[in-house]
């Protein structure tokens, strides 16, 4: 999970970094959690934006809670 303030790159370079990664890895779908992230990617990537799936919009998607174990990289 990436937070908006993760990393050491300038905000102005986000679009170029994402587009390069999407093209190099033939990304067809980006999964996000939340409408803000979905809107941000659509606005930032414009015509280069692949399909975005907002996990919060899926009714039967499992919600992580403290009772559901997660890996060390995805703990609250």
pTM of the predicted model as reported, rounded to 2 decimal places: 0.66
Looking at residue 57, its pLDDT comes to 86
The per-type count for the chain, helices as H runs and strands as E runs, is 2, 2
Question: Which CA distances in Å does 8 have to 20, 37, 67?
Answer: 17, 19, 32
What gap in Å lies between CA 23 and CA 20, rounded to an integer? 5
In the predicted model, is pLDDT for residue 58 greater than 90? no
What gap in Å lies between CA 65 and CA 28, rounded to an integer? 28
- 9 pLDDT band, cuts 50/70/90, is confident
């Amino acid at each position: 999970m990436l937070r908006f303030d993760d990393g050491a790159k300038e905000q102005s370079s986000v679009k170029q970094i994402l587009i390069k990664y999407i093209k190099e890895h033939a990304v067809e779908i980006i999964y996000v959690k939340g409408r803000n992230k979905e809107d941000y990617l659509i606005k930032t990537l414009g015509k280069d934006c692949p399909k975005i799936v907002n996990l919060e919009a899926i009714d039967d998607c499992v919600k992580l809670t403290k009772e559901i174990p997660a890996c060390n990289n995805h703990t609250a």
